[in-house]
A and B are shown apart, each in its own frame.
Chain A
Amino acid sequence: MQDAENVAAPEAAEQRAEPGQQQEQQPAAEPPPGEEPPRPGGPGAQEAASGEDAAAEVEAGPGPDVPAEPAAGREEAAGAAPGSSPPPPEESLAPVPAAGEQPGGAAEDGGADEPSFSDPEDFVDDVSEEELLGDILKDRPQEADGIDSVIVVDNVPQVGPDRLEKLKNVIHKIFSKFGKITNDFYPEEDGKTKGYIFLEYASPAHAVDAVKNADGYKLDKQHTFRVNLFTDFDKYMTISDEWDIPEKQPFKDLGNLRYWLEEAECRDQYSVIFESGDRTSIFWNDVKDPVSIEERARWTETYVRWSPKGTYLATFHQRGIALWGGEKFKQIQRFSHQGVQLIDFSPCERYLVTFSPLMDTQDDPQAIIIWDILTGQKKRGFHCESSAHWPIFKWSHDGKFFARMTLDTLSIYETPSMGLLDKKSLKISGIKDFSWSPGGNIIAFWVPEDKDIPARVTLMQLPTRQEIRVRNLFNVVDCKLHWQKNGDYLCVKVDRTPKGTQGVVTNFEIFRMREKQVPVDVVEMKETIIAFAWEPNGSKFAVLHGEAPRISVSFYHVKSNGKIELIKMFDKQQANTIFWSPQGQFVVLAGLRSMNGALAFVDTSDCTVMNIAEHYMASDVEWDPTGRYVVTSVSWWSHKVDNAYWLWTFQGRLLQKNNKDRFCQLLWRPRPPTLLSQEQIKQIKKDLKKYSKIFEQKDRLSQSKASKELVERRRTMMEDFRKYRKMAQELYMEQKNERLELRGGVDTDELDSNVDDWEEETIEFFVTEEIIPLGNQE
């Protein structure tokens, strides 16, 4: 950059001078006849003024036709330079020592006797500076030299001369960390420093470093440094007071972000992280073999997340989050958040919440940031005071509200303003947990017992804040809120210690949300509860209960009249987790990790166990979004050997075992909610027979095709191998003589080729006899 400026025409040099020194524009703008060629301006000139300027001015000064407007600005700049105004000698007393040393000093005394060196009035200076002394100009100081290395520090303590030395020491100590300080300046006023200082570093990089690191440095309670680059001041100065209409951004065509839904075979996609996180792949799920769509090395630094409707794939990086999508998985958006660890999408895919433990400062909350996904803009930052569970902010189902809980308060914010709803938080003393309904803007929260006041579960409508249902509970140890996926039911799992009994009893308080007054029914269980899960889109729920070897699973049905009926109980289950199919009806009971990966596939419509299987040491179970397939996997994150993912049908038929080196994680790409109406879905279910015929035929076709392909592949492999073997055998036959020679004429090519030499040996076979009595002999 600077080089380019050096060789540029003088105009460039003048323009460069402009921003720094506003007053010095005249000579450049319209060089008045007789004016000396413009000198390199800029702040550097200030320092040089006493020397060079003085001399130059002196030369020009005495001329009779010196224009009357010898730059008022320069007067200031050059201080009391002798030539600034044709003065009586007495007045220019101050600069005399300087001027006197100059050869031009004589001119002052000589006055009119001297020949005029000034240009005639009509002289046009057509010799450029570059031409005249280009070689010297090359080395002239640049404005950028030095100034880039200067920083301004504000909020420095104001001290008198007695403590200045001490202050300088302190400042030096803090700021020499970033590089060598070559110069400092402490402006003073009335014997005290002004509270801001200038420091110059040896290089601009140091200055940038200092700004980055020392800005916000807390010297003591009153003094927090604000550090800026000197060059930035200019930037801040020129900010217009008027608001400009932002330029319209050109439309960026990102292609069809939902292209994967149009796939002819209606296959689903999933992401796989393997090689301990070094590689990430996207596959089409196919009954035969997964079909790779995209594979990248170091796509993410930790793990990936799909957005709730599957539009974006989020990757994690030290410096922030990147979103990918479209057919080629191009980068769609980036969110810079140093050290980001956790993210959460709003259900509407409009906002992204990111969390980083690194970035928080007192007055600039950046621990949690909410971003607008479409524009990439930061909407709001939050502190993270409590070490609550992620997600700290919980979104309402439509993304209109989000809420967080802190001590005794529930804060509800609204989008898109990101401000507090009604400008104030809810005061709920003792609030322990809350949860949004997935089917409406209702919040459920619970408060534990406080002396004589019973524990209570409250359902609150938003944004009206109207409490639609309150339920009081006694002897409560703990509560867990479980919403059914459509928001039709809420189950509050209440652990209680009723008076007069030993141990904990669990009550399932079932709230029927769709009915008037929200009636509640209770199921009580005395056994330890291991897991609870609602059937998505249904009215059944499953409970795992019991102690380690005697674990049972119970399926309950909430009937339309409100009665809760136990449909079926299976005992002796090896399971610790319940995975419902996203469509309901089917469920996988899995004994993950310590339970060795036992799997039970259950159809809850008639409560039959369709299959019992095992994926040894499985750590995860993931249903595909359509409920057709389920994947079990052993992640390298939890277990170091046999990392693989297995694909099963919903009935529990094993389709594929995919071993991947250091496999970490598989995530299905979610699908957005269906656009079909309830009637259409019903119609499809009615016509299922018709469709299944078509699908079965398709399956048969592809199956026979597959086996044909396999046979074909084997055939070519065999052919190639035979060809190779033929060549090798020819070579082998050629070497027959050499072999004979090496073994003294004995042919050993065949095992029995030298039978004549064999010796007979007699060997015995050991037969042990053991008498085992048959049957029961009493």
Chain B
Amino acid sequence: MKPILLQGHERSITQIKYNREGDLLFTVAKDPIVNVWYSVNGERLGTYMGHTGAVWCVDADWDTKHVLTGSADNSCRLWDCETGKQLALLKTNSAVRTCGFDFGGNIIMFSTDKQMGYQCFVSFFDLRDPSQIDNNEPYMKIPCNDSKITSAVWGPLGECIIAGHEGGELNQYSAKRSQPGAESALCHRGAGMYSRPRVNGASSRKRKTFHRQKEQHMQRHSVKSSGEVLVNVKEHSRQINDIQLSRDMTMFVTASKDNTAKLFDSTTLEHQKTFRTERPVNSAALSPNYDHVVLGGGQEAMDVTTTSTRIGKFEARFFHLAFEEEFGRVKGHFGPINSVAFHPDGKSYSSGGEDGYVRIHYFDPQYFEFEFEA
């Protein structure tokens, strides 16, 4: 079927993501625009304006109330999904590379780049405690001294985060709250209120407050020191560009510059499967209802000018999860694919490329009929 072409960015796409229901598709690029689209017809719903640099990452919480974006303008911003209002601005010392809501949607995590003399950090904010946002004081900050984080997601149930590093390592960091003091400090559980932080004298503006009502849960466990590395594995030899969980969050797929994508168990980080290509893999996504995985990648942007599209191999490639065998390719982009995402219903997928386009592809009937001889 003919794909839907989304033209809402002036620069290369950095990340695309569906919300949980799959009706919306969020796209960010190396321009400051954050777009949200109806996935079914490709109509643009709106934009989130405010960033002043390339936006590296985007995430939506489970009930699509909030959107979180991280940018190279040294900020991580929280938006109201429906109105597009900026709810919080968290200044950082360096570019924000990855960000995410936890399972419950109460805690946000983001990681910053190692650059300009600053370390790579993962910061954790509890949205139920407005003072953390107001003072820009995360309740936890994990330094990563060795190799910077290039991709990260929350583990199942928000007890840990899984981070992929520049050197190819995978780490599972505990995100459990450690100090009992921190817990008691959250006096107003539940109806936490927070306000836009005061930045550069912007405080005179109208204060926007809102309630967060959907849940009142705290982390139940308070064991062990937080930020501790629970599991460390190194299966990739080069940078891990992307990590995406399966729908049930029991496993995840990594995409690496070492030309492979790999499947891991979320709890143990045990390596399960490897999908090999001849090009750096920028992104990989798991089908929610088939044993399929889609890989996007291609020759690195800096090398593309020296090669033709034919040699670049900018195709999305489909592999069988268990057999590790490729069974299909989708052409279309004329630059490397930087991000791929499966629609939660598994009937379509989208890809965002270095060429600045996002393409929504609905699968043909043959896709659903195809089966390996086994």
Contact = CB atoms under 8 A, between A and B. Distances in A.
B40 A763 contact: yes
A742 B104 contact: yes
Nearest to A749: B248
Given A714-B374, A735-B157, A766-B41, A729 B21 contact: no
A417 B251 CA distance: 74
Contacts of B215: 742-744
Interface in A740-777: 741-744, 746, 748-749, 751, 761, 763-766
Contacts of B249: 732
B360 to A, nearest CB: 13
A73 B299 CA distance: 85
Nearest to B267: A731
Contact of B214 (A617, A741, A744): A744
Given A721-B322, A742-B157, A743-B104, 17 more contacts: A616-B310, A616-B311, A641-B278, A641-B307, A641-B311, A721-B321, A724-B272, A728-B251, A729-B248, A729-B250, A732-B249, A735-B157, A738-B157, A742-B103, A743-B105, A763-B41, A765-B41
Contact of A742 (B217, B250, B321, B344): B217
Contacts of A763: 38, 40-41, 43
Contact of B374 (A642, A711, A748): A711
Interface string B8-34: 000000000000111100000000000
6 contacts: A714-B323, A735-B157, A742-B103, A742-B104, A742-B158, A742-B217
A427 interface: no
B137 interface: no
Contacts of A717: 322-324
A634 B344 CA distance: 41
Contacts of A718: 322-323, 374
A133 B249 CA distance: 85
A644 B42 CA distance: 40
Interface of B: 20-23, 38, 40-43, 62-63, 103-105, 156-158, 214-217, 248-251, 265, 267, 272-273, 278, 288, 291, 299, 303, 307, 310-311, 321-324, 344-345, 372-374
B41 A764 contact: yes
Interface in A685-735: 711, 714-715, 717-718, 720-722, 724, 728-729, 731-732, 735
Contacts of A644: 278
Tier of interface size on chain A: 35 or more
A720 B291 CA distance: 13
A538 B322 CA distance: 52
A618 to B, nearest CB: 12
Contacts of A334: none
A741 B217 contact: yes
Interface in A284-336: none
A592 to B, nearest CB: 15
A192 interface: no
Nearest to A617: B311
Nearest to A724: B272
Contacts of A641: 278, 299, 303, 307, 311
A302 B158 CA distance: 53
A671 interface: no
Contacts of A766: 41-43
A751 B345 contact: yes
Nearest to A640: B303
Contacts of B63: 743, 746
Interface in A647-666: 659
Given A641-B311, A718-B323, A731-B267, A748 B20 contact: yes
A16 interface: no
A739 interface: yes
Contacts of A715: 374
- List of 9 A-B pairs having minimum Cβ-Cβ separation, nearest first: A728-B250, A721-B322, A744-B215, A742-B104, A714-B374, A765-B41, A744-B214, A732-B248, A718-B322
A728 B103 contact: no
B278 A751 contact: no
A739 B214 contact: no
Contact of B248 (A659, A728, A743): A728
Given A728-B250, A738-B157, A739-B103, A642 B311 contact: yes
B211 to A, nearest CB: 13
Contacts of B307: 641
Interface of A: 616-617, 641-642, 644, 659, 711, 714-715, 717-718, 720-722, 724, 728-729, 731-732, 735, 738-739, 741-744, 746, 748-749, 751, 761, 763-766
A642 B312 CA distance: 10
Contacts of B214: 743-744, 746
Contacts of B373: 711, 714
B367 to A, nearest CB: 19
Contacts of B250: 728-729, 731-732
A642 B278 contact: yes
B265 A743 contact: no
B215 to A, nearest CB: 4
A743 B104 CA distance: 5
A715 B372 CA distance: 10
Contacts of A764: 41, 43
Given A728-B250, A766-B43, A721 B62 contact: no
A748 B38 CA distance: 21
B22 A751 contact: yes
Given A617-B311, A729-B248, A714 B372 contact: yes
Nearest to B61: A743
A751 B21 contact: yes
Nearest to B345: A751
Contacts of A765: 41
A574 to B, nearest CB: 15
Contacts of A748: 20, 62
A728 B265 contact: yes
A764 B273 CA distance: 41
B61 to A, nearest CB: 10
A19 B313 CA distance: 76
Contacts of B43: 763-764, 766
A749 B62 CA distance: 11
B321 A751 contact: no
A627 B72 CA distance: 59
A711 B372 CA distance: 9
Contacts of A749: 248
Contacts of B156: 735
Nearest to A659: B278
A551 B93 CA distance: 61
Contacts of B23: 761
A41 to B, nearest CB: 66
A732 B251 CA distance: 11
A92 B132 CA distance: 108
B274 to A, nearest CB: 12
A721 B273 CA distance: 9
Contacts of A746: 63, 214
A739 B372 contact: no
Contacts of A732: 248-250
A57 to B, nearest CB: 77
A616 B265 CA distance: 38
B311 A743 contact: no
Contacts of A738: 157
Nearest to B106: A742
Contacts of B216: 744
Contacts of A711: 373-374
A603 B21 CA distance: 60
B297 to A, nearest CB: 13
A720 B273 CA distance: 11
A617 B38 CA distance: 42
A761 to B, nearest CB: 8
B271 to A, nearest CB: 11
A721 B250 CA distance: 13
Nearest to A661: B259
Contacts of B41: 763-766
Nearest to A634: B311
Contacts of B40: 763
